[in-house]
Amino acid sequence: MRELRIRTLVGVFLVAGVLSWAGARLWNSLGTLPSVPLAAPIALAVIAVILLATALSLRARLKAQRERRPEAKGVDPLMAARAVVFGHASALVAALVAGMYGGTGVFLLESLDMPARRDQAVYAAFSVVAGIAVIAAAIFLERVCKLPEDDDDNTGAASTA
């Protein structure tokens, strides 16, 4: 599996943001605008906390295993791989969702004088922040589970070429 690339996540965020902004303008011209649910930033924050807790737990277990502590619980490689896949998928979805709510929030900045739209803009801003937290936690989890490079294999292949 490839590492998360910041460029990819930023690209997803920007494309989703521009499309969401354009969609919000179009939808508003029809007279309504879909609302930003209060649950959006909460759900993203919960995912960020789960990813961070998983990363911290795995990091502590791996450290104990490296130090060969007698009470150390081993880390199942399949469980670590599943955690990384969950983090990878969560980061991509969070970039998409944060971009979507970011675009909607930028559109809502035009009408902050209306209390309902102001509340929606605040929810959108919190959703973007929570989405960034998910991405940061996923990258941290990926770094915790990254295997060290094997220098012997790399130099052997390079010397035969």
| pLDDT above 50 for 150 | no
Most confident of 3-7, 9-13, 82-86, 111-115: 9-13
Question: What DSSP letter does each residue of 44-93 carry, written as one string?
Answer: HHHHHHHHHHHHHHHHHHHHHHHTT-TTPPP--HHHHHHHHHHHHHHHHH
Q: Look up residue 55 and give its amino acid.
A: A
Residue 123 pLDDT class (50, 70, 90 cuts): very high
Tokens of 67: 């130090």
15 pLDDT exceeds 50? yes
Check if the beta carbon of residue 12 is closer than 8 Å to that of residue 95: yes
What band does 149 get if pLDDT is binned at 50, 70 and 90?
low
C-alpha angle 111-117-119 in degrees, rounded to nearest 5: 130
pTM: 0.84
Is the model more confident about 76 or about 153? Answer: 76
What pLDDT, on the 0 to 100 scale, is given for residue 60? 87
If you average pLDDT over residues 99-121, what whole number do you get?
A: 89
Rg (CA), the chain: 21
> What are 6's two structure tokens?
């910041």
Give which of 40, 58, 51 is closest to 86, Cα–Cα.
Answer: 51
**Mean pLDDT to the nearest integer, 7-27:** 94
3-state helix, strand, coil in the chain (%, to 5): 80, 0, 20
Q: What percent of the chain has pLDDT over 70?
A: 89
Residue 159's pLDDT is what? 42
- Of 131, 125, 97, 88, nearest in space to 16 by CA: 97
